[in-house]
Amino acid sequence: MREKSKRKAQFQASPIGAIPSFDEHETSLDYVKLGEIFAYYRNKLGIRLIRNGDFNTPVLQANIKGFAAQLDAVTAKTFPYYNFLKICEFSDSDKSKSHAHLLTKELNELYSFLKSKGFLENNRLKEDLKSEQILEIENFCQTNLSAQAKAKLEGRRKRLSSDFASKMHTCCLTKEQAIDEMLDIQKSLGEDEMVGYVFTNNVRSQRSNVHFEAVIITKHEIIKPVEWGFDKLPKEILDHTDKGLNSAAFFSPRADLLSDEGRPPQQQVDQSHSGALCVLYLKKLLQGNGKALFEDSLRIPLYDENNKLNYVFIPPPNIMQYSQNDKFIKFYQMLMGRKVEISSDQPTPHDLQQLLLESRIRARLLGDHKTAELNQNLIDKFDTFSEKWLRGCDEACEKRDAMLFIDNDETSYNIYLAYAAKRLLDKVRSPKEERVEQDSTTGKKQKKEQEATNVLLNDSQEHAVEARVNASQKEGPPQTSIPQTDRPSISSQAKEKFKEDLQDYVFKRMSEAGSHDFAAHHRTKIITLKFGYSAEQKIAAVNKLIYALDMQDKLEERPKEMKLTETDIGALTTSRLYENVIKKHLELFNQILEKLPENHKVDNFSHDI
């Protein structure tokens, strides 16, 4: 236990794990990066992900034009005060729904004048004012308004001018518009199609402190896989009670319905990485033709005691590896029938089989035979499903514990998600950093080569956290002589598995490492490969191999610094890396080496093993 704590402390010495020096803004996702990450997932995994505003683009354009029109009004040169007042609403409260509102208590002089003249309707200027009335309003503001009131009015005008200019560039869709967009996407889908969708709370910029909401949309269902534990529902949260969603088959965890005693548990207590958690959920559920969604999860239509039909989503077990809170995991383990030791403040669930039985009875009484049949089917298969689910949960928890990233302190950051977010962000940043490095002066050549190597690693690390070594091992040393006759091309599946195994080895070493040397190196490199040879040589070798896998059809286009050398081959074919990873992918490894233009320089590498 002491050794585990020591290793965890060493990890937290890194830029990602250091608290309080850890900056969540460095690892929070934003709208701009989200779009590029989605493009990456579509190309690499074949899954379709949509940001709000990317489907109903005319609605987004109308929002932008609306703020542009308001900006024109507050910056008008002709009748500036009238044009400004034209878009404003007088209010007694600071919490007015109108963005451009004026407080009557601060501008009572102006408000009283407009009201006495009959120029107001519903606390706004009338739309049918005559030209002489418009002139009268302008003259009053210009000449009769007191200096103090005029200063307040002018200050408000300047603030709104700045605000509207900003919102032209950052606005997106409101929640109501996003719900409409989700329903429009649903109408456009075929029977077997599914997409992931993220609502960014009316933000279309690089702001990082924005709450994200994720859903999966199919032809007949909308699934919100992750919920947040709020006592009072904030307006930015998508909920089954929202207009438009309350009439759809909108599945969500509904811990409020499943909880028997105690506040519903929340998976995520870190408010900085909702975006990372949403993206990871979408990836897990949609990849592999939705296996985790359709085989490892439950979507349950459930009648409650008021005969209201609810739609409940039970998440797949593999997402438990991202849970910051043990209470969340134990809640679902108990829901699946396992007896676990719990604390006094542990939320406990209802008996799910009993809920299904009661729902089936109510459905039959209401004549809803389809729901009754679905409930009965789940009852019949519950034992088999729960056993499989609990096994998957145990595997996910092993990953969670091995990473040493999880802290049950409900006031801390979820370091695991911070790390995952860092990897996602690297997918976007790597090409840009590479271009900058290629433009560097020759005097920085050594630094350029090393940083280009690290950048290209980051561009290839999609499956790092969840990868597991599954491929069968092949005995014997690697061969450099491979026949040229009709050799099959490297399959995408084999390539991705090879990459996953390389990354899995990396993270296993991270959790095992306990030396001062590893901790010191990890402070400067987020991702460290410390196995055999020097750390720098290993970094270069694995980077180049992963890059070669990605560039299999364009190997000649690799920059000089990304070509494999004898030292690289030696680093790849010694110690635990060779035994645990390379050896299991010898055929693919040899195919890559055979295709390398520089192969003639490394054709005797087997003697180094």
Residue bearing the bigger pLDDT, 587 or 598: 587
Residue 592, pLDDT > 90, answer: no
Task: Determine the Cα angle at 144 with ends 142 and 149, to 5°.
Answer: 80
Residue 190, pLDDT > 70, answer: yes
Q: For the sheet containing 213-218, what is the strand order?
A: 49-51, 194-199, 213-218, 222-223, 250-251
Q: What is the pLDDT of residue 471?
A: 32
Q: What is the pLDDT of residue 453?
A: 36
Mean pLDDT over 329-352 rounds to 92
CA–CA distances in Å: residue 20 to residues 10, 64, 121: 15, 38, 53
Mean pLDDT over 107-128 rounds to 93
Residue bearing the bigger pLDDT, 120 or 484: 120
Residue bearing the bigger pLDDT, 466 or 535: 535
Q: What is the pLDDT of residue 566?
A: 77
Q: Name which of 58, 59, 60, 39 is nearest 50 in CA terms.
A: 39
Split at pLDDT 50, 70, 90, the class of 286 is: very high
Each as own residue / partner, the long-range contacts of residues 69-74 (CB below 8 Å, 24 or more positions apart, any chain) are 70/100, 70/160, 70/164, 71/161, 71/164, 71/165, 71/168, 74/100, 74/157, 74/160, 74/161, 74/164
Residue 299: strand pairing partners: 313
Split at pLDDT 50, 70, 90, the class of 97 is: low
Residue 203, pLDDT > 70, answer: yes
Q: What is the pLDDT of residue 237?
A: 86
Q: What is the pLDDT of residue 139?
A: 95
pLDDT in tens, 493-529: 777 788 777 755 554 543 333 333 333 333 333 333 3
Mean pLDDT over 592-603 rounds to 68
Q: What is the pLDDT of residue 441?
A: 34
Task: Determine the Cα angle at 470 with ends 466 and 473, to 5°.
Answer: 140
CA–CA distances in Å: residue 235 to residues 242, 272, 326, 489: 10, 18, 28, 52
Beta strands 101-103; 89-91: pairing state: parallel
Residue 220, pLDDT > 90, answer: yes
Q: What is the pLDDT of residue 344?
A: 86
Residue 432, pLDDT > 80, answer: no
Q: What is the pTM of this model?
A: 0.66
Instruction: Residue 31: count other Cβ atoms within 10 Å of its Cβ.
Output: 23
By the 8 A CB rule, do 499 and 491 touch? no
Q: What is the pLDDT of residue 555?
A: 78
Mean pLDDT over 191-212 rounds to 89
Lowest mean pLDDT segment, chosen from 139-143, 330-334, 464-468: 464-468
pLDDT in tens, 28-39: 788 888 888 898
Residue 216: strand pairing partners: 196, 223
Mean pLDDT in the chain? Answer: 76
By the 8 A CB rule, do 128 and 141 touch? no
By the 8 A CB rule, do 28 and 532 touch? no
Q: What is the pLDDT of residue 36?
A: 84
Residue 102: strand pairing partners: 90
Split at pLDDT 50, 70, 90, the class of 538 is: low
Rounded to the nearest 10 degrees, how much is the dihedral formed by the CA atoms of 552, 555, 557, 563?
A: 120
Mean pLDDT over 382-390 rounds to 97
Instruction: Give dist(CA 524, CA 467) in Å, integer.
Output: 24
Q: What is the pLDDT of residue 321?
A: 87
Residue bearing the bigger pLDDT, 206 or 241: 241
Residues 6+ apart with CB under 8 A from 295: none
- Helix boundaries (H) for 368-463: 369-403, 415-438, 445-458
